[in-house]
Amino acid sequence: MDRLYTLLQNRIEGVVSTPDQYHAGLLSNFGNLFHATPRLVVSPLTARDVAATVTFAREHGLTVSTRGAAHSQSRVAISDGGILLSMSSMRRILSVDASAPSVDVEAGVVWRDLVRHLAPRNLAPPVLTNNLSVTVGGTLAIAGIGVSSFKYGTQGDNVRELEVVAGTGERLVCDRKKHADLFWGSLAGLGQAGIITRARLDLRATKPMTRTYYLLYRGLRGFLHDAKLAMERGRWDHLESWASPSPQGTKPVAGRRQVFARWFYPFHLTVEFDPGHPPDDEELLRGLDPFERLYVDDLPTVDFFERMIPVFDLWKQGGTWKHIHAWIETVLPWEHAVDCIESVLPDLPPSILVGGHVLLWPAKGTTSKVPFFMRPPGEDLIGFGVLPAIPARFWERARPMLENLSRMTELMGGKRYLSGYLDWTEDRWKNHFGDQWGPFTALKHKYDPHSILNPGFVPFPAAPADVRRVPGESVPAAD
């Protein structure tokens, strides 16, 4: 038995496991690309456990990697020889305040559980991700965007207060005023400064029913025109869109014949309503010019929030959930959207989208204030996501295409959404963060001076010797 096992187990209420005890699923994440074996897995029960684990790691020269539901894809939520902190053991919904609607939750709470808990009160978080089987801490650490982000920004924009265990082992409660740098730096902060243990989230009142209009567009320009109109009208609660392939035949691409598609653009626009007061369809759709109005769907609002569950279940049943996922999601400036998307789709083989899809999400850049959620400047933005599922034997063939796609979107002024696949050098990271790279690095050095937290993803420069201290340690005198 690992000698550290008993030492750590004696310090915490939660459970410590060694490689012969924990589940093999903990060695990778949804990407299925990176695999690593943690020396110990900790399932904490309290923030005190988290703080004790971080302190223990520092004392024994170990790192701590934080894992929520592991639905991300790069070198995150896994640990190579360190401690993997599996936050899903902290999943209590602590209290709901219906008067100034907000909810206090532990970081391992899964959004789906929260949505169901709140539905009887007609309350919901303003922004929900398509995949609700992920944790509050896991999406706040990335940003968390959804089909209402064009109105409410990211999930991070809708947080009132956080409790965070910093890399120094300190437990800090932070908000927009208190330890504001840690508060903002924990949102879309990739768990680099601290581990979120609790969050107080804003809620909004929902109406019990939703009506969704399924519109179809033949061309990208027409869709974008109407997407902008829909965002500006202020009538819609949720806007969701895709590029959808209709395979046509084969053509030569990069020296080999490949299936190509004619692309169409489904656009789903949703309003919430009270039973007995259905929306006026013609009034709502006035001014929009789709190729076809396909379908109108009325759903209880909670079912609308869970609408993607059957899709993801299909991916699981079809076996593609186990494939490699190397998603390239980029927030593009509106003015380059057509050039960028139209240079990608004609050569994109539709087969890699079996168990995946191409997302197009209209967004407003000014709805977010989260500094480390990097997006292009400007008001109108569009999220462009190529979300393939790739059988392992095709990975080496698909990789250059996806890496080129990422570079191209970045060259066109796009900013990658960091939950997908990326394997960057320091230069790419610096380019991504731009003028936020300095503040991001400074935050890391201040709150995690020994670089204990979540190594292997962001290549930070080492902290200067005078900041590599821990609470209670005196600052060493200059040489």
Ligand X SMILES: Cc1cc2nc3c(=O)[nH]c(=O)nc-3n(C[C@H](O)[C@H](O)[C@H](O)COP(=O)(O)OP(=O)(O)OC[C@H]3O[C@@H](n4cnc5c(N)ncnc54)[C@H](O)[C@@H]3O)c2cc1C
Interacting residue ranges for ligand X, rule: CB under 6 A: 29-30, 66-72, 76-77, 87, 107, 129-131, 134-135, 137-139, 141-142, 144-146, 190-191, 195-196, 312, 419, 454
Q: Which is nearer to ligand X, 83 or 195 (CB)?
A: 195
Distance in Å, CB of 274 to ligand X, minimum: 27
Q: Which is nearer to ligand X, 69 or 390 (CB)?
A: 69
Q: Which is nearer to ligand X, 71 or 179 (CB)?
A: 71
- For residue 328, the surrounding DSSP H or E stretch is strand 328-333
**Cβ atoms 207, 459 nearer than 8 A:** no
Cα distance between residue 183 and residue 103, in whole Å: 17
Q: Which is nearer to ligand X, 290 or 449 (CB)?
A: 449
Distance in Å, CB of 83 to ligand X, minimum: 12
Cα distance between residue 86 and residue 108, in whole Å: 8
Distance in Å, CB of 209 to ligand X, minimum: 22
Cα distance between residue 5 and residue 224, in whole Å: 56
Distance in Å, CB of 262 to ligand X, minimum: 26
Q: Which is nearer to ligand X, 118 or 187 (CB)?
A: 187
- For residue 161, the surrounding DSSP H or E stretch is strand 159-166
Distance in Å, CB of 279 to ligand X, minimum: 25
Distance in Å, CB of 181 to ligand X, minimum: 16
Please state whether beta strands 40-43 and 83-86 pair in parallel, antiparallel, or not at all (unpaired): parallel
Q: Which residues, including other chains, have CB under 8 Å from residue 63's CB and lie 6 or more apart? A: 57, 79, 81, 82, 83, 451, 452, 453, 454, 455
Distance in Å, CB of 128 to ligand X, minimum: 8
Q: Where are the beta strands (DSSP E) in 168-291?
A: 171-174, 194-202, 204-205, 209-217, 238-253, 256-273
Q: Where are the beta strands (DSSP E) in 351-414?
A: 357-364, 380-387, 389-390
- Tell me how far CA of residue 259 lies from CA of 91, 247, 315, 316, 386, in angstroms: 45, 7, 21, 25, 17
Distance in Å, CB of 429 to ligand X, minimum: 14
Q: Please give the structure tokens belonging to residue 82.
A: 């360190």
**Cβ atoms 326, 355 nearer than 8 A:** no
Q: Which is nearer to ligand X, 164 or 288 (CB)?
A: 164
Amino acid at site 371:
P
Please state whether beta strands 171-174 and 159-166 pair in parallel, antiparallel, or not at all (unpaired): antiparallel
Question: Cβ of 21: how many Cβ atoms within 10 Å?
Answer: 12
Q: Which is nearer to ligand X, 91 or 218 (CB)?
A: 91
Q: Which is nearer to ligand X, 77 or 288 (CB)?
A: 77
Q: Which is nearer to ligand X, 142 or 243 (CB)?
A: 142
Helices assigned H by DSSP within 389-474:
395-411, 426-433, 437-447
Long-range contacts of 14-20 (CB under 8 A, 24+ apart): 14/42, 14/43, 14/44, 14/45, 14/46, 14/49, 14/89, 15/42, 15/43, 15/89, 16/40, 16/41, 16/42, 17/41, 17/42, 17/43
Q: Which is nearer to ligand X, 70 or 390 (CB)?
A: 70
3-class SS at 176?
A: coil
Distance in Å, CB of 266 to ligand X, minimum: 16
Q: Please give the structure tokens belonging to residue 139.
A: 């999406």
Distance in Å, CB of 130 to ligand X, minimum: 3
